[in-house]
Amino acid sequence: MKLSNNYIFYPGNNELVKAIEYYKGLLADKGIIDDAPDNSIAVQDNFLYTRGNFEQQRFNTSILEPAREAFESILSEMSRQQSPLNWAAIQNSLGNILAALGQQRMDVALYEKAITAFNLALEEFKQQDSPLNWATAQYNLGTAAQALGRQQDDSKLLKISIDAYTNTLLEWTQDQAPELWATTMFQLGTSFYAHGKLLKGNRTFQKSVVAFKNALVRFDADNYALALSATHNSRGVVLQHLAESEENSARMEEAIRSYEIALLVAQEQQLPIHLAVMIKVNIATARGVLAELTNDSAIAEESADDFELILELFSSVLQPLCLKHCEAQLIRMTSLLNTAA
């Protein structure tokens, strides 16, 4: 059975934030005041949190190129032999900036430079000597490799991402670093999911579901609303595709329940409306597939009603491809109902 379209969104990237704040700290040390406003992304930006792992939510997008230039300049003047750990820290920050630029421009070469920077950092950050720095660089490597792997449909890069996140979890443990552990589990689930789509393997999808379930242990609505909603939504996405692959209606019902929890969190915690609408689209799509799996016209009618409501009330916050998807799904459900009648 062909896998249907569904949609994911991402929590913020704290490592990118740290890299930008490090750059702004360098400016402050030189007595330079950066008056570029934070929070520069408009509230009505319907792509917010959906572009990928390196989206900025706090900083003006023009900050990336100056930060890149600053870090590259420092590295050109710094002696790796005399200050190996500082050199590695700059490589780590540079990697995040390069990856953010790569995502912004969909530039493979920039992503590859980011991956190289993280690997260089790992040449100096050794697990036995600098375990937390080593884990951070592994995490960043995993995120950059995942982002490029998804963009290029490259299974080797996604395997590198999975291995890097697995290494990260050796140091970012649930007991010692619960937030970092949960964040890594979310990203590991995302990498397993992307890898599973390429491999067409249910076992990899199942690993993704487990990783997302693990992340949910530590995310709560009061402190991690975006991460909690994103994780439930992503778990629903994987369960939906697993259900389609298995032609398993019970699994599809589980996917719908996961989406519904994601939607509840998004609404109660007042996340941006386009994220709630995206989850509604996922629910309606999953119901449509469930209707086809079970030949249930009542569920098909419910899915059609969902899409009609989305198109009538929320078309202005739908991304163009998502809008086309909703229109096509409404036609599909209407045709199913006409056939049943």
Per-position DSSP letters for 141-203, written without gaps between them: HHHHHHHHHHHHT-HHHHHHHHHHHHHHTTTS-TTT-HHHHHHHHHHHHHHHHHHHHHHT-HH
Residue 187 sits in the same domain as residue 272: no
Q: Please tell me the total count of domains within the chain.
A: 2
Q: Give CA separation, 150 vs 72, 192, 259, 283, in Å.
A: 27, 11, 22, 23
**One domain, residues 256 and 148:** no
Whether residue 235 is contained in a domain is answered as yes
Q: Is 212 domain-assigned?
A: no
Domain that holds residue 256: 219-341
Q: Which residue has the tokens 């990697």?
A: 95
Can you give the pLDDT at residue 296? 96
Residue 295, in any domain of the structure: yes
Same domain, 245 and 328: yes
At residue 258, does pLDDT exceed 60?
Answer: yes
For residue 278, pLDDT beyond 70:
yes
Shared-domain flag, residues 167 and 261: no
| pLDDT, tens only, 1-60 | 689 999 999 999 999 999 999 999 988 877 665 655 555 444 458 889 999 999 888 888
For the entire predicted model, the pTM comes to: 0.94
One domain, residues 1 and 122:
yes
Q: Note whether 158 and 265 are same-domain residues.
A: no
- Domain contains 207: no
47 and 150 assigned to the same domain: yes
Instruction: Quickly list DSSP for 51-68.
Output: S-TT--SSS-GGGHHHHH
Answer whether 118's CB lies under 8 Å from 162's CB: no
CB-CB neighbours of 181 under 10 Å:
21
- Going by C-beta distance under 8 Å and a sequence separation of 6 or more, which residues neighbour residue 280? 263, 306, 310, 314
Write out pLDDT tens, residues 49-92: 999 999 888 888 889 999 999 999 999 999 999 999 999 999 99
* C-beta of residue 283 within 8 angstroms of C-beta of residue 329: no
Nearest to 5 by CA among 297, 228, 324: 324
Distance CA 50, CA 269 (A): 18
Give the whole-angstrom CA distance, residue 261 versus residue 221: 11
